[in-house]
Amino acid sequence: MREIGNLKRREVGRWKNNRAENSLQPFRQREAAMLKFRRTKTLQKFVAVHGQIHNHFNSERHLVSREIYKQRRSAALAEWRAVAA
């Protein structure tokens, strides 16, 4: 740093790197989940099925009222039981 004249621009501190580290957290969580699978093909099969089920049941609760949320959940659960049975 001294050779290129960049010594004074370096910021060192306890929380200076938090923004960079926090932005990588979702990526690291996905990476850790992927490491649990030994083969890529197994991971792809799981993700294909899980994505469909997750999209079916994920209804973004914060955007709708309680009654509408309960109606959608019961309809999704009834459809899931019909498909699974």
Spell out the residues 6+ positions from residue 1 whose beta carbon is closer than 8 angstroms to its own: 7, 10
**In the chain, where are the structural domains located?**
18-84
Task: Give percent of the chain above pLDDT 90.
Answer: 4
pTM exceeds 0.85 = no
In tens, the pLDDT along 35-49 reads 888 888 888 888 888
Between these two residues, 81 and 60, which has the higher pLDDT value? 81
Which string of DSSP letters, residue by residue, matches 41-83?
HHHHHHHHHHHHHHHHH---GGGS-HHHHHHHHHHHHHHHHHH
Q: What digits encode the pLDDT tens for the residues 14-42?
A: 777 777 777 778 888 888 888 888 888 88
